[in-house]
Amino acid sequence: MKEASRMISEIEAEVQLTRHYIGKSHLDPRVMDAMRRVPRDQFVPPESKSYAFYNGPVSIGYGQTISQPYIVALMTDLLNPRPDDVILEIGTGSCYQAAVLSLLVKKVYTVEIIPELAEEADDRLVRLGYSNVETRTGDGYYGWPEHAPYDGIIVTAAAPAIPDPLIDQLKANGRLVIPIGLPYQYQELMVVEKTEGGEIETRSVLGVAFVPLTGDLGVSRRRPHSSEPNRTH
């Protein structure tokens, strides 16, 4: 598809522009192939289909968006997904990120706090044949403990601090990719790694702008960041 090829080219161009921040000049070919294969136009409202492959966020209603393709690709790459991984996603939204992950891992569990979006996402996943993704309606702050621990966790909305339940549900040597910051203020995309001994290591990758994680944000303790934030512009 011409539009998908253009989207991939735009992602590759933005990777080059931000390579000094993200520490790489190209993303995992498996990730880029998944981005190419998932029909993004099936994950946006009918009135927004002409913008589906635009390298920017698109509104999906309820005050939520489908993330910019470059950010979806980057976050997926930072998660370092492997074929046998079980991944937790917080913030299903349109389920586009979950669909991309589904082509790269064994199983994706995804949590959405807005019931209407969760129902629409579940119907869409069934219709499009993404059979290794399971959705639920709930507060993503608490994760999905029944299926923990997870090889990786990805959060597609900004939290003021790293939610402790997500750290608890992450496997040793697993990764959590999450935007941290307050709404309408500077946010940073963080990679959180849990060592074999249970220690937490974090690094800032890029300045970002996400819709806020809603629900219970009463984080019991703030975990410190390991570095000063990097700015994209």
Contact (CB, 8 A) for 76 and 34: yes
Catalytic residue among 67, 94, 102, 204: 67
Encoded tokens for 175: 């990764």
Give the relative orientation of helices 29-37 and 2-17 as an angle to the nearest 10 degrees: 150
| 25: annotated active-site residue | no
* 3 state SS for 123-190: HHHHHHCCCCEEEEECCHHHCCHHHCCEEEEEECCEECCCCHHHHHCEEEEEEEEEEEECCCCCEEEE
What is the rounded distance in angstroms from the CA atom of residue 172 to the CA atom of residue 23? Answer: 24
CB 181 within 8 A of CB 68: no
Q: 163 vs 88, 145, 200, 231, CA distance in Å?
A: 14, 13, 13, 23
Residues recognised as catalytic: 67
